[in-house]
């Protein structure tokens, strides 16, 4: 997996590149990781050797020439296979060890492929996988099982070892023209296309029908170096809009929507507009839904006994999700038990800091008095019934004027951090409960075109442990989720009687399989990258304009630091361990309260 972003273990990857290049005075244009997040030593050496043998400014300019293409990531993978063959041939006489490293890389490829879940395999480009599998099979002396166009592409990607920079670029151009009828350098918006191709894209396979909620079963302790990367596959997104089958799947997994059909219609008409026009919303309270709660809690024991969940009418995919969700809750609980001492200490420290912070936001409830502020409507009682208690003064009883909503990103990119996120949310919830601050906990994800908001804990509930039902899977359309939560907050407090704080626990990587609708035959633009970050920023700005103090608790890879700054400005804190939570969250809330003093 060739990527341009740097994650926490990128330094080791760059060291391989610099060593192979024989120089350390540049920032690599690419670094390589396996799908599991492990550093790909061999391919990082290939990148370094490309720097050694070629003019990387020219090569980078060529890669950038097709960056606007929806298939850019696939093209990168193809071309680096060709470059690998070329630099191997150039360097093998000077570095004989490359032969063994290449064999090790081939073995790693098949080892890792065998360890991937079914959902992770489905996320791969099969065209790229076929070429990679063929390359590494040949390295291991196995038979290459390709024929026709795939075989021709495979042979073409054996770039010769005598190529110069100009020759390599010419070879890559030939590759595009031969197999994709594509000329790099012409943006997709300006490229002419045939009506038949447009209709094929618009009426082709619907991505949504093949999406499943992805719940991993490995460690979830929050290793940000292993953040899951969501990849869009060209030709599978357009023409998709959620239908009844998708709604049934969402209902089976999460339970009934808390709003009526008419209420949801009004909500979607208000929020699912413009670029989100084809999207749907679903708001649930897990504890109120027999399927979503009963199955989630009982599925684990049922699966251990070899029995199917009680409701056999739901699909196998939904039953699988419910079973794995119950397993994840068990994992979350075990994680908290294992780290009980650290969690208890964090709650103690955070609640103490929050108690001090919120004191100035506690207001004294008024009580009747013989002197103070006159209540005009009761003034007649003074002369008519000789009642002197027609005044109000601040009493001894106090009421807090702050309400907090904690919003958890539950997308697939959080798969490797589920236990850690659940534990951090529990620390925040328990701390706020100790200082009597009303708290609501929500999670969000997008699957099959539905942005699902789960109410894990209501404001009136005194059960911080309910957040341990948190699970991750799906995509995340941050902008739509943020606007929906803002609408829910405003409707629950229409008179703005309370000061609202919205804390979003996120990796700042908005990404959805549903495109941003732009009209026309092209279908839309991908909800990813800079465009999705701008959309999320607009939603955050709107929340703040409405008086909802909004900030982020950032738990993600270093590659997304720029994203979190663009979306939230300076109002965020990065948390890399639970031990940092007390100081980080209290400092973040203190900054928010200082900049927005009480009325």
Q: Burial letters for 156-181: b for 16+ Cβ neighbours within 10 Å, e otherwise?
A: ebebeeebebeebbebbbebbeebbe
Q: Are 443 and 474 in contact (CB under 8 A)?
A: no
Residues of the chain with pLDDT under 70: 1-10, 36-37, 116-123, 185-241, 287-314, 360-366, 394-400, 497, 517-524, 595-599
pTM of the model: 0.60
**Closest residue by Cα to residue 467 from 505, 516, 507:** 505
Q: Are 562 and 574 in contact (CB under 8 A)?
A: no
Question: pLDDT over 90 for what percent of the chain?
Answer: 41
* Helix (H), strand (E), coil (C) string for 102-163: HHHHHHHHHHHHHHCCHHHHHHCCHHHHHHHHHHHHHHCCCCCCCCHHHHHHHHHCCCCCCC
- The pLDDT tens digits for 500-540 are 999 999 999 898 888 886 544 344 577 888 889 999 999 99
Question: Per the structure block, which two tokens stand in for 269?
Answer: 């008409």
Helix spans in 435-503 (H)? 478-492
Tell me if residue 3 falls in helix, strand or coil: strand
- Beta-carbon neighbour count of residue 189 at 10 Å? 8
Contacts of 384 (CB under 8 A, 6+ apart): none
- The pLDDT tens digits for 422-462 are 999 999 999 999 988 899 999 999 998 899 999 999 888 88
What's the start-to-end Cα distance of the chain, in Å? Answer: 52
CA distance 280 to 258: 14
CA distance 556 to 548: 24
Residue 517: predicted pLDDT: 66
The secondary structure of 385-438 as a DSSP string is: S-----EEEEEEEEEE-EEEEEEEE-SGGGGGGHHHHHHHHHHHHHHHHHTT--
What is the helix (H) or strand (E) element at residue 509, kind and residue range? none
Residue 373: predicted pLDDT: 81
Note the Cα 517 to chain centre separation in Å: 20
Q: Are 299 and 322 in contact (CB under 8 A)?
A: yes
Q: Identify the sign of the CA torsion 133, 526, 321, 429.
A: positive
- The pLDDT tens digits for 483-511 are 999 999 988 887 776 789 999 999 998 98
- The domains found in the chain, sorted by start residue, are 2-192 (no CATH), 235-303+314-341+401-595 (3.40.50.410)
Residue 37: predicted pLDDT: 66
| Residues 349, 351, 352: CA angle, nearest 5 degrees | 65
CA distance 204 to 301: 41
- Beta-carbon neighbour count of residue 396 at 10 Å? 7
Contacts of 356 (CB under 8 A, 6+ apart): none
CA distance 70 to 193: 14
Residue 36: predicted pLDDT: 66
Which region, left, alpha or beta, applies to residue 181 given φ > 0 means left and ψ of -120 to 50 means alpha?
left
- Beta-carbon neighbour count of residue 352 at 10 Å? 15
């Amino acid at each position: 997996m060739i990527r341009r972003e740097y994650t926490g273990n990128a330094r080791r990857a760059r060291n391989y590149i610099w060593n192979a290049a024989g120089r350390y005075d540049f920032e690599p244009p690419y670094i390589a990781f396996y799908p599991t997040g492990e550093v790909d030593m061999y391919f990082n050496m290939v990148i370094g050797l490309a720097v050694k043998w070629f003019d990387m400014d020219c090569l980078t300019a060529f890669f950038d020439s097709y960056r606007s293409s929806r298939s850019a990531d696939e093209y990168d993978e193809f071309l680096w296979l060709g470059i690998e063959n070329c630099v191997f041939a150039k360097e093998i006489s000077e570095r004989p060890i490359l032969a063994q490293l290449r064999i090790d890389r081939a073995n790693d490829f098949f080892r890792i492929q065998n360890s991937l879940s079914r959902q992770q395999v489905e996320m791969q480009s099969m065209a790229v996988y076929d070429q990679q599998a063929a390359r590494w099979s040949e390295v291991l002396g196995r038979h290459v099982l390709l024929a026709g166009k795939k075989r021709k592409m495979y042979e073409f990607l054996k770039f010769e070892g005598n190529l110069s920079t100009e020759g390599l670029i010419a070879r890559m151009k030939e590759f595009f023209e031969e197999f994709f009828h594509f000329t790099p350098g012409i943006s997709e918006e300006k490229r002419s296309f045939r009506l038949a191709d447009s209709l094929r894209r618009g009426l082709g396979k619907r991505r949504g029908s093949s999406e499943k909620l992805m719940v991993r079963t490995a460690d979830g302790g929050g290793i940000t170096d292993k953040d899951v990367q969501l990849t869009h596959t060209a030709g599978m997104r357009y023409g998709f809009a959620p239908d009844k089958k998708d709604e049934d799947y969402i209902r089976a997994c999460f339970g009934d929507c808390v709003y009526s059909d008419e209420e949801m219609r009004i909500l979607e008409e208000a929020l699912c507009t413009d670029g989100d026009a084809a999207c749907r919303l679903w708001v649930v309270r897990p504890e109120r839904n027999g399927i979503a709660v009963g199955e989630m809690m009982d599925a684990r024991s049922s699966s251990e006994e070899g029995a199917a969940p009680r409701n056999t009418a739901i699909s196998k995919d939904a039953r699988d999700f419910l079973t794995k969700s119950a397993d994840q809750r068990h994992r979350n609980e075990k994680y908290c038990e294992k780290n009980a001492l650290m969690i208890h200490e964090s709650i103690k420290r955070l609640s103490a800091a929050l108690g001090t912070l919120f004191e100035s936001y506690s207001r004294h409830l008024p009580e009747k008095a013989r002197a103070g502020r006159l209540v005009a409507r009761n003034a007649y009682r003074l002369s008519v019934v000789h009642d002197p208690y027609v005044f109000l003064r601040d009493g001894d009883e106090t009421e807090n004027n702050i309400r907090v909503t904690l919003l958890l990103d539950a997308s697939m990119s959080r798969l490797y951090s589920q236990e850690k996120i659940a534990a951090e949310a529990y620390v925040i919830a328990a701390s706020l409960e100790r200082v009597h601050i009303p708290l609501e906990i929500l999670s969000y994800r997008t699957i099959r075109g539905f942005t699902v908001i789960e109410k894990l804990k209501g404001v009136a509930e005194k059960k911080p442990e309910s957040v341990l039902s948190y699970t991750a899977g799906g995509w995340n359309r941050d902008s739509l989720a943020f606007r929906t939560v803002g609408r829910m907050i405003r409707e629950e407090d229409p008179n703005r009687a309370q000061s609202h704080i919205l804390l979003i626990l996120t990796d700042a990587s908005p990404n959805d399989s549903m495109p941003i609708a732009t009209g026309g035959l092209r279908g839309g633009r991908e909800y990813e990258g800079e465009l999705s970050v701008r959309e999320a920023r607009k939603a955050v700005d709107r929340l703040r304009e409405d008086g909802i103090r909004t900030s982020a608790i950032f738990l993600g890879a270093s590659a997304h630091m720029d994203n979190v700054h663009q979306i939230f400005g300076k109002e965020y804190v990065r948390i890399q361990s639970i031990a940092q939570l007390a100081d980080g969250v209290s400092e973040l809330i203190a900054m928010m309260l200082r900049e927005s003093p009480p009325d």
